[in-house]
Amino acid sequence: MAKTHTPERLTDDGMIYMADDRAVAAIPMYYYGARGQWFFPNGADGYSRLKDSQAATMIAEHGFSKKHPDEQGNTKSDRAMMWLIQNRSVAYAGLLAGYPAGLHNLNGELVLVTESPRFIEPRAGSFNTIHKLLTTLFADEQHPQFGIATQWAAVCYRDFHQRMTTDGPWPFQHCPMLGIFGPSGCGKSALIKLVLEPLLGGKRADPLKFLNEGKFNKDLFSASLLVLDDKSAAANLEERRMRVGALKSLLWDQDQRMEGKGVDALDLTVNPFWRLVFAGNPGPGYNILPTLDKSLRDKLILLRSSMASDLPSTNEERAAWAKKISLELPAFAHFLLKFKPDQKVDPRTGCVNFWHPTIENALLELQPEMRLLEMIDNLNLIGDDSPLWEGTASEFERTMRSLDKDVDGKKSGMIDRMFFNSQRAGAMLTELSEQTSRVVKTNRGNTSHYRIFQMEQRP
């Protein structure tokens, strides 16, 4: 059944009717109702925010007069503005990580991206300064860290390049987090600021507040590069454990709920392009990382950095060095598009799974369940003639307490201090089952059962 209308007024369902709707539809203007803001194209291939009065002036320039109000007191400009509110409203207008400026349909919601990320156009050429920074920063005689780091950067840039040069929707690509740990002033911060940040859009954000509070993450959606440094060190082990799930959700869930606060309050699900880097000094700096477990093997790369060569020492030298790196970025981007690593890559991410042994061992030492594994070996729980011990957490605790004696055969008290409540033994065994194949947890009825092996088990 055809809809009827009152000429030049309203349709039966309350929509503004205009005989010249093609003309008003041609006005490239959008309305963000949550903030009461208008957006119009600017000269920088993006969109600028307008007040109501400015929007009315723009509409008038498209042929809808602000003079001669009708019997209801509305001018043609007023009515065009009302039509645009009803037909050109968007659920969000602003920056969005990894999205070029323009209108996007995301999960059924219209979103106006108001500014494109910075994009480094690849161009063949030399990049000697960047190459020296990378090769010396990640120099390691036993581990091919240059190739591992470069492959991570290549995967990130290729995905970003696709988004900037082709129309969406783009396939979601899993990518591991990158951790870089080395002495202060070694060049890791320069790598992030001067190379990674511009290659991935030119903006960065700090996810610490969101990781700690679990809400109000809108600020993160403006940048593709998320960076956690020494200032983000966790206060305790439990906080680091909680970061495991939060970080996996942040980086490995395709749909992300954008949640603002106060005047920015909104509830919208979008698909941002995020890549995350940790950077810290050895020792206390490791506390910015989540606790290690098996589920992070393909989700986190850990690299040990050394002092890079030829780093600048004065402000003038730093400015000149940064300019050289900036000029080399197109050539480095071209190199990344063609780079092929010598190492085996993970089929899911395209990156090389790697934890530097020095960092891995240091992190595991910070986790008390790894000390329990040492106690299992030192107290000879399994025995020399058996490949494994098996039983419940209660049986494990009783056995370990019976074995806990010093060289004089007296109770040492170490197990008492470790198992300070009745649930502690089971909790630590469960943590171990997440970190090492030597401990396997199964459920038998309503009871958890553990098998503890002498040696690591093959997958």
> β-strand 204-205 against 225-228: which pairing, if any?
parallel
pLDDT band at 3 (very low <50, low <70, confident <90, very high): very low
Per-residue pLDDT tens digits for 136-152 = 999 999 999 999 999 99
- Per residue, the 3-state secondary structure of the chain, as one string, reads CCCCECCCCEECCCCECCCCHHHHHCCCCEEECCCCEEEEECCCCCEEEECHHHHHHHHHHCCCCCCCCCCCCCCHHHHHHHHHHHHCEECEEECCCCCCCEEEEECCEEEEECCCCCCCCCCCCCCHHHHHHHHHHCCCCCCCHHHHHHHHHHHHHHHHHHHHHCCCCCCCCCCCEEEEECCCCCCHHHHHHHHHHHHCCCCEECCHHHHHHCCCCHHHHHCCEEEECHHHCCCCHHHHHHHHHHHHHHHHCCCEEEECCHHHCCEEEECCCCEEEEEECCHHHHHHCCCCCHHHCCCEEEEECCCCCCCCCCHHHHHHHHHHHHHHHHHHHHHHHHCCCCCCCCCCCCCCCCECHHHHHHHHHCCHHHHHHHHHHHCCCCCCCCCEEEECHHHHHHHHHHHCECCCCCECCHHHHHCCCCCHHHHHHHHHHHHCCCEEEEEECCEEEEEEECCCCCC
Instruction: Calculate what percentage of the chain has a pLDDT beyond 70.
Output: 96
Nearest to 81, CA basis, from 11, 135, 24, 119 = 24
Report the distance separating Cα 5 and Cα 294, nearest Å.
64
Report the pLDDT value the prediction gives residue 230, as an integer from 0 to 100.
83
Per-residue pLDDT tens digits for 224-266 = 999 999 877 766 777 888 888 899 999 999 989 888 776 565 6
Per-residue pLDDT tens digits for 145-182 = 999 999 999 999 999 999 999 998 999 999 999 999 99
Q: Is-contact 431 367, C-beta < 8 A?
A: yes
Report the distance separating Cα 139 and Cα 146, nearest Å.
7
Per-residue pLDDT tens digits for 48-73 = 999 999 999 999 999 999 999 988 89
Length of the chain: 459
Per-residue pLDDT tens digits for 434-459 = 888 899 999 988 899 999 998 888 76
Q: Is-contact 137 308, C-beta < 8 A?
A: yes
Query: 284 versus 193: which is more confidently predicted?
Result: 193
Report the pLDDT value the prediction gives residue 456, as an integer from 0 to 100.
83
Residue 105, strand partner residues:
110
Per-residue pLDDT tens digits for 91-150 = 999 999 999 999 999 888 999 999 999 999 999 999 999 999 999 999 999 999 999 999
Domains and CATH numbers, the chain: 21-90 (no CATH), 128-364 (3.40.50), 368-453 (1.10.10)
Is the Cα dihedral 167, 251, 119, 129 positive or negative?
negative
Q: Which two tokens stand for residue 343?
A: 């190492």
Long-range own/partner contacts, residues 407-416 (CB < 8 A, 24 or more apart)? 414/375, 415/375
> β-strand 275-280 against 177-181: which pairing, if any?
parallel
Looking at every residue in the chain, the average pLDDT score rounds to: 91
Nearest to 252, CA basis, from 182, 183, 177, 189 = 177
Report the pLDDT value the prediction gives residue 260, as an integer from 0 to 100.
76
Report the pLDDT value the prediction gives residue 1, as an integer from 0 to 100.
43
Does the pLDDT of residue 329 top 80, yes or no?
yes
Q: Tell me how crowded residue 314 is: count the other CB atoms within 10 A of its CB.
A: 8
